[in-house]
Amino acid sequence: MKKYFFVLILLIGFKSFAQESKVEAENLTKTEKAEFPGGDEVFTKEFLKMIHGYIDLRKYAVNGQFTFLFDVTTDGKVDNLKVLPKVKDSELFIDDMNFAIKRVKKKWKPAM
């Protein structure tokens, strides 16, 4: 009987010192990406139209694919354009691409 009593006291002691995890309600927020009116395909068409309309591509010896990274400000304007991969003497190319992307008239719907 003493053994059962001792085990019972021991189990109650373990239970009282056990960590209790409190489940906190996480603030889940739904985020949305920035959107161009009409979608990405419409933006690509507009951007290519501005490139071919305002920039002489013959002066560049570009070969391959480039990735354009940019930020959309809260008022829907494009800012902070980056072109990847970086190539030697690409400053003029990046400046011309920045000019072409700013010529796209429609504004983006900013991310939420």
- Domain membership of residue 79 (yes or no) is yes
Total domains in the chain come to 1
Is the residue at 19 inside a domain?
no
Residue 79 · residue 73 · CB < 8 Å: yes
Q: Looking at the domain assignment, is residue 72 inside a domain? A: yes
Nearest-CA neighbor of 86 among 52, 70, 62? 62
Question: What is the domain range of residue 69?
Answer: 30-112
Residue 100 lies in a domain: yes
CATH number of the domain bearing residue 70? 3.30.2420
Report the alpha-carbon distance of residue 91 to residue 59 in Å, rounded.
Answer: 13
Per-residue pLDDT of the chain (112 residues; tens, 9 = 90+): 766 665 656 566 656 555 566 666 667 677 888 899 999 999 999 999 998 898 887 887 777 888 989 999 999 899 899 988 887 778 888 888 899 998 998 888 888 7
pTM, two decimals, is 0.65
Neighbouring residues of 48: CB distance < 8 A, sequence distance ≥ 6: none
